[in-house]
Amino acid sequence: MLAGRARALVAATLGAAVLGGCGLNVAAPDLFDVTRTGEGKPFTMLVNYGGTVRCDGGPAKTLSDHLLLVARDLPGQLQADAQRKLDLPSPPTSVYRFKVRLQYGTIAFPDTAAAKYPALAQLVQFVLQAQPACGAGG
């Protein structure tokens, strides 16, 4: 009788472990991917909903809570421009060019566009603030 209960307990525990383990490998979706070109070497940043950032194909690093909140807000702010596939030309005064890919589409713009587009300014600021999180000096 005791052996039957022990077997049932072991079976139940193993079953729970197997079922519980099914959800452990679910990956959070990527929020956006940014590429910056211009002076110096190109720089890439992949931002994940789970709170990580990968720079230049390196290992995932954790974002601060503040930067994660900013990152999660950016796709909504950029959605209309991404759906329109905004592609602004680079004037001679620009130093960098950015390309951001989101689920809604792609936006390409020079650093000088941030003066007229607040959401693009926030994206550029996010990139600058998040670079140290992944050890990238950019």
Over residues 81-117, the pLDDT tens digits come to 999 999 999 999 999 999 999 999 999 999 999 899 9
* Residue 12 forms part of a structural domain: no
Does the pLDDT of residue 19 top 50, yes or no? no
Range of the domain at 80: 28-134
pTM, two decimal places: 0.78
* Residue 8 forms part of a structural domain: no
pLDDT grade for 27, boundaries at 50, 70 and 90: confident
Does the pLDDT of residue 8 top 50, yes or no? no
Q: Which residues of 15-37 are buried (b: 16+ CB within 10 A; e: fewer)?
A: eeeeeeeeeeeeeeebbbebebe
CA atoms within 13 A on the CB side of 138: 21
